[in-house]
Structure 1
Amino acid sequence: MIQSEEIVRVAAKGDGVTASGRHVALAAPGDVVLPDGTLQPGPHRVPPPCRHFGPCGGCQLQHLDETVLAAFVRDRVLHAARSQDLESGVLGETHLSPPRSRRRATLHAQPAGGKIVLGFREAGSHRIVDLAECDVLRPELFALVAPLRRMLGAQKGRWAVDVELTLADQGVDCGLKGYAMEGLQATEAALGFAHEHRLARLTVDLGYGPEPVWEPEPVTVTLGGTPVALPPGAFLQATGDGEATLVGAAREWLAGSGPVADLFAGLGTFAFALDGPVATYEAARNAHLACRAAAARYAGRVSAHHRDLFRNPLQPGEIDAFDAVLLDPPRAGAREQVARIAASGVGRVVYVSCNPSSWAKDARTLADAGFRLAELRPVGQFRWSTHVELASLFVRD
């Protein structure tokens, strides 16, 4: 006979899990799975704030209270570390970004059922959830959803458009991929939309890269107090508060250091916030050029280098010129570069990661080379999502 079971934790993909290992979708710790499969709500279940929760793939965890949500982020990071037999000397407080704080997102639009649908895709599907509300996007971004529907609705035939929205210093940067801006009417509609809604920039990508069609003044994003040119599609931390948390950790851990190597530096998110001399290394040409142009104001405190660290990682002899290394690689991690760091004589490494699993493998390489995981800080920038980030400090005693 099937017995009732209590949900004891939340798995990596958001399912609730019982002590016996049974996975139950949309279950919270403390819920009880009854013999007929229904859920008896427990103390940590809360009403999801958004009507789209469930079908929408943008969020997986809106049914969890703050305590469990923070614990989920923390435990994902701790589990990754322990999978490689690593324990942190200090576990920092988990940071959760608040509702309506996401400053960049990619939405999808297409005609369906006689109307234009625009929103995130359903989980595991190409179907689009037509957004009537959103509790993760900054209000400035969500305010464009209805106007975008009207503007895109002028297109004829079958089409699909990806909409990239980013909040820059000057306002919203909007990128349309797949939008057939052909003819005077379509062009005027796009420019009218940009003007009416005071966009910072409007770009259109028909398969050859984004081309600006509206940019009243150069678009920038302020990093460490420095306005940096924002190329279309360039990487930016998902929330301003999340960025501040990660940068704050780096500043604290690198205070008093001599020269720092900032690897996978992007636009200079960390470099411009640090006090000492910093050398940035970045493969994406547009991001590198933006960082270099901004660095020119600092009379040598920040130097920018164009380098693909996957194909051409910094070698141990080059790394030895620095007192510390900071790296924030893509989701795949930085296996080859970390191997060179481990073989160098550098004594301090700050590793920021958006993927605890790949981070843990790289962390093991550092530990095997004599580094100690001194501190670990879990970060949940993507609120109500299973996407987890972290900042970590490694020191060689």
Structure 2
Amino acid sequence: MTEASEIVRIAAKGDGVTADGRHAPYAAPGDVLLPDGSLAPGLHHAVPPCRHFGTCGGCQLQHCDEPSIARYVGERVAFAAQSQGVAIGELLAPHLSPPRSRRRCTLHALSAGGKPVIGFREAGSHRVVDMRECHILRPELFALVPALRALLARRKGRFSVDIELALTDQGVDCAIANLPVEGLEETEALLAFAQENRLARLTLDQGYGPEPVWEPEPVTVSLSGIPVGFPSGSFLQATADGEAALAGAVREWLVGAGVVADLFAGLGTFSFPLAETAKVLAVEAARDAHLACKSAAGRSGRAVHAMHRDLFRNPLQPEELGRFDAVLLDPPRAGAREQVARLAESAVPRIAYVSCNPSSWARDAARLVEAGYRLERVRPVGQFVWSTHIELASLFVR
């Protein structure tokens, strides 16, 4: 008979793991896995605050207390580096964003039994959890869910739509995809919904691309105090708190650099903070984001020069990189294999690498270390509270 074993850590996907490698769903470090497969809760086992936990795919770790989640966030980064043979000079304490701080999300809505169901999907399923409470979303976003439910309840026939919400300077930006709108009555209902809920913008995508139908004034997000135009669907760090932690780390690490290249710059999340003390080249492939960054830089007077360039197909070459005192890169989840290869051939003294995927980051880190860089420090950030999604900021020095 299998003996009782203590849960010693949290695995990558959120299961608890014993010292002998057995996995147990919804187990926290310090719990005891009993011979019959049940759990005896330990000191780090928490009572999940949300009624939907266990079915909703938005959270995986509500059964764990904050210290064990912080440890998990740090270990994910450390294990990823170790798997590639990369030594971390200093692993800083993980930063965790608080509950109800997430400022962007994608919800799903469908008709079920003649009534609308709105929420996140179940883990590994297309089924939608009908959200009645949420402990991760900003209250301004969650407050819109009942209004959306009422709007969709008036619809006839079946529907399955995606709803993107983002909190901007002007309020909630709401983008709805795959919702056909026909006739004056449906159009007026949408406009009334936007007006009554004081939306910053309402955008519809009926298969021909997003089209704003309500936008009383241009929608912006403030980055380091600079209002930047926010194209519908643009990338925005999940929490303002997490963004501040990442930006604060890279700004501290790159202090003294006079000229910095910000690669995969997006709207300028890191360009504008860095431009407080340096000249910044902000390189981005998405045209809408590039133009928003360029326009904001012109209005603000910050020393940010925006360049439109696809760094996957056309990465900056070593001779171009040689003009910079430091480079910051914040690529998509797949990492930046080609651009990192060019950085490895360069003489850039400092590289700050921000990542939302420890695995692709560790692969790229190994390439830089092989080329003579030293991984000086890493700051893990858990801005998706109670999630297995990890972000980090790191500093490489040649």
Partners of 2:57 and 2:156 in 1: CA distance: 28
Partners of 1:160 and 1:299 in 2: CA distance: 45
Q: What corresponds to 1:285 in structure 2?
A: 287
1:300 is displaced (CA, Å) by 6.9
Where in structure 1 do 4 or more consecutive aligned residues deviate above 4 Å? none
1:2 is displaced (CA, Å) by 2.1
Q: Report whether the alignment pairs 1:309 with 2:311.
A: yes
Partners of 1:300 and 1:340 in 2: CA distance: 28
1:18 is displaced (CA, Å) by 1.0
Within 5 Å, give how 1:233-272 maps onto structure 2: 233-272=233-272
Q: Report whether the alignment pairs 1:141 with 2:152.
A: no
One-letter amino acid matched to 2:222: T
CA contact (8 A) 2:50 2:134 kept: yes
One-letter amino acid matched to 1:387: H
One-letter amino acid matched to 1:194: A
Q: What corresponds to 1:42 in structure 2?
A: 42
Change beyond 3 A, Cα 1:223–1:300: closer
Partners of 1:33 and 1:95 in 2: CA distance: 29
1:113 is displaced (CA, Å) by 2.6
**One of 385, 388, 392 as aligned partner of 2:387:** 385
Partners of 1:120 and 1:4 in 2: CA distance: 35
TM-score scaled to structure 2, two decimals?
0.98
Partners of 1:5 and 1:113 in 2: CA distance: 45
CA contact (8 A) 2:272 2:302 kept: no
Q: Report whether the alignment pairs 1:194 with 2:198.
A: no
CA contact (8 A) 1:313 1:336 kept: yes
Q: What corresponds to 1:167 in structure 2?
A: 167
SS at match of 2:137: coil
One-letter amino acid matched to 1:243: E
Partners of 1:205 and 1:186 in 2: CA distance: 15
SS at match of 2:379: strand
Partners of 2:342 and 2:247 in 1: CA distance: 24
CA contact (8 A) 1:108 1:160 kept: yes
Q: What corresponds to 2:60 in structure 1?
A: 60
Unaligned runs of at least 5 residues, structure 1: none
**Comparing 78-87 and 285-294, the one that deviates more:** 78-87
SS at match of 1:130: coil
Q: Report whether the alignment pairs 1:209 with 2:209.
A: yes
Give the aligned length: 396
Within 5 Å, give how 1:1-16 maps onto structure 2: 1-16=1-16
Identity %: 68
Q: Aligned-pair RMSD on alpha carbons?
A: 0.9
SS at match of 1:363: helix
One-letter amino acid matched to 2:225: G
Unaligned runs of at least 5 residues, structure 2: none
Q: What corresponds to 1:97 in structure 2?
A: 97
**One of 314, 324, 341 as aligned partner of 2:326:** 324
Q: Deviations over 1:185-228 (max 9, x none)?
A: 11111100000010000000011211000000000000011000
